[in-house]
Amino acid sequence: MVMLQSVRDNLKGTIVSVIVILFFILPMVITGVGSSFLGSVAGTDAAVVDGRSITKKELSREIYMQKQRLLAQQGVDPSADYLKDENLAQPVLERLTRKAAVLAAAEKGGMAVSEKSINGAIVGQEEFKVDGKFSSQQYRSLLARVGLTPAAYKAATAEEMMLGQLNKGLELSSFVTEKEKSEIIAIINEKRSFFTVKIPADDLADSIEVTDAEIAAYYQANEAEFREPEKLSVDYIELSVNSIAATVTVDEADVRSQYEQEAESFDATPELTVAHILLEEDSSAKLTEVQAKLAAGDEFADVAKAYSDDAGSRDQGGELGVLVAGAFPEAFESAARELGEGEVSGPVKTDSGTHFIKVLKKDVPEVPSFESRKAAIERSLKVAKAEGIYLSEMEKLDELTFGAPDLSGAAKELGIEVKTTQPFQRNTGLGVAGNPEVRNAAFGDEVLIDNRNSQVIELAGNRALVVRKNTHSPEHIKPLEEVKEQVVSKLTESKLNDLLEEKAETFIAEAKSSEDLNALAESSGYAYAMFEDVSRSDPVSDPATRNTVFSMPLIEGETAFDASPVRDGGYQVVGVVKKSAGTADDMEPTQVAGLATQLSRENSRFEGSAFESEVVANADIKIH
């Protein structure tokens, strides 16, 4: 645990603020670990890692969240085997066990996150705010939707912040030696002198002939190039709650009534910013001393710094930040809510010890004005009204399209437009065809073979549509007549490249014994240019040429050659004649410092990877 101690030392006095996103807690990126370490254990837990339980409920929730992340990616088929719970369970559980092993190691190394930092992270999340301010009601409501209690969410937030603290600590504990820095600077600032010779293609292209026999031979040998995949286009009509909502109206009285209901149920619970003094030991003498100092008017923050046993908040005068409902013991929260701004409680007993609580700030939220809420309420009422209409219209859509010879009658009856997609394939498409459900229905027997309307296809976002085949093109090889021009172009290009490559090789052979390369190039009608001491970023030559120049291996005292096609259709010969190592003098001091930081960050990644591998290898991991 030497590395953990180094990490912790580097973080002393540093306030870590890591915001954890409510519904999208990203998995920690750790190097892959095989399943050979997995043991077995009986019981109700999914796994136990160094005494830390991973419950089956937690595993189920993570499997669900991973599935939602995958489904959010475009073009994912919801019915794919890899999205089944049984196939997601193993990789998700391995990720959770690795994370648990790292957390256990961090705790053993003495890492912790202060209550103030945790509360600040929670209160600062936009998802929990209403009109720009933290709302306890919104907080509890959102957590309930994903099956979390405030205490569980607070624990999850603390874990993610500890992981962030660990990663930051690894970065801060890494360093770069002067030798490493000098070697990198020598490479980065290296300069090379080289020449280029451009061989034009213009005069050669006109001399190239392609015969019918060559065309036929290429076509037969490369039929796969001319394979056209199966494609289908469909007509469709679509219903959606959003489109219906745009056409409905709501009464002002209904908007006003909804606002009054909101105002009546508005959570006016004051937002408290609190501080505390924690006495862990049951010492009546210390308790009496603290009470006496507070009664005498001593500054609460000074008393906290001198007496509090909460190392996380003591140096900040006991400040814990905003009191998050459910995140503190019930006795603590109840006592705090009894206080006015600036007031200090008497002794409050919890499992952690005895607290003295001070309310630093008490904000009573105000009911939003009608005007500020009007547009949002109108929108929600329109959507609610549209949802009812949508259900009945969807039934009508089903009735009108079932057995109908086309979609025009249903479209006219429902007042919507028949649209047509671009041709799409079985596994990809644009617009509505980007949805796997639409493609599956379109390529199903009912639509593709029987030439009937599809059943109603329900999509995410309260959308429904019916499709009907418009055009269908089976997979086929395009006829030679259709692709002849393309074949001629490919053969011409290939022959031209062969000629240019031959000329480049001839020039290189002659250049090796020539004393005047410029004259040699001119005698062949080629353009010659010399570039002295060019750096990797020097704009005197184009990026592609510089990349070639600096990727060429060099032998001291010899010219290195390379030849390759260029964008204008010609060929270019490059000859590198010398190189010189770069130094720090070629850089600004800020650039040198920035490079050192970047190298340190890269080192920390390698060290972090090694640390994680060691932690997982040494952890006691048992899988149920």
Q: Is the pLDDT of residue 393 over 70?
A: yes
| CATH placement of domain 190-205+481-580 | 3.10.50
Q: Which pLDDT score, from 0 to 100, does residue 29 have?
A: 30
The CATH class of the 2-176+603-623 domain is mainly alpha
Q: Is the pLDDT of residue 404 over 90?
A: yes
In 10 A of CB 257, how many CB atoms?
13
Q: Give the tokens for residue 57.
A: 């409920």
Q: Is the pLDDT of residue 374 over 50?
A: yes
- Quick one: how far is CA 621 from the chain centroid? 29
The identity of residue 194, as a single letter, is F
Q: How confident is the model at residue 418 (pLDDT cuts 50, 70, 90)?
A: very high
Q: Give the tokens for residue 50.
A: 């160094």
Helix axes 589-618, 150-173, angle to 10 degrees: 120
Task: Give the whole-number percent of the chain exceeding pLDDT 70.
Answer: 93
Q: Which pLDDT score, from 0 to 100, does residue 485 have?
A: 95
CA-closest candidate to residue 579, choices 562, 557, 561: 557
Q: Which pLDDT score, from 0 to 100, does residue 284 have?
A: 85
CB 20 within 8 A of CB 30: no
Q: Is the pLDDT of residue 231 over 50?
A: yes
Helices (runs of H) and strands (runs of E) counted in the chain: 23, 19
Q: Which pLDDT score, from 0 to 100, does residue 172 have?
A: 74
Domain limits, the chain: 2-176+603-623, 190-205+481-580, 230-246+385-474, 270-363
In sequence order, the β-bridge partners of residue 272 are: 362
Q: Is the pLDDT of residue 13 over 50?
A: no
- What number is the average pLDDT over the span 595-620? 82
Q: Which pLDDT score, from 0 to 100, does residue 41 have?
A: 36
Q: Do domains 2-176+603-623 and 270-363 have the same CATH topology?
A: no
Task: Give the whole-number percent of the chain exceeding pLDDT 90.
Answer: 54
Q: Give the tokens for residue 509.
A: 């052979």
15-29, 266-280, 399-413, 542-556: the lowest-pLDDT one: 15-29
149-199 pLDDT, tens digit per residue, is 888 888 889 999 998 888 887 777 777 777 877 888 888 889 999 999 999
- Most confident residue range from 36-50, 227-241, 547-561: 227-241
- What number is the average pLDDT over the span 368-380? 93
Q: Is the pLDDT of residue 591 over 60?
A: yes
Q: Is the pLDDT of residue 31 over 60?
A: no
Average per-residue pLDDT for the chain: 86
461-498 pLDDT, tens digit per residue, is 899 999 999 999 999 999 999 999 999 999 999 999 99
| CATH placement of domain 270-363 | 3.10.50.40
CA-closest candidate to residue 35, choices 603, 616, 527: 616
Neighbouring residues of 206: CB distance < 8 A, sequence distance ≥ 6:
none
347-372 pLDDT, tens digit per residue, is 999 988 999 999 999 998 889 999 99
Q: How confident is the model at residue 43 (pLDDT cuts 50, 70, 90)?
A: low
Q: 230-246+385-474: which CATH topology?
A: Chitinase A; domain 3 (3.10.50)
42-46, 217-221, 342-346: the lowest-pLDDT one: 42-46
Q: How far is CA 116 from CA 15, 103, 140, 170, 388, in A?
A: 10, 20, 19, 23, 46
72-126 pLDDT, tens digit per residue, is 776 777 777 888 888 899 999 999 999 999 998 888 888 888 888 888 889 888 8
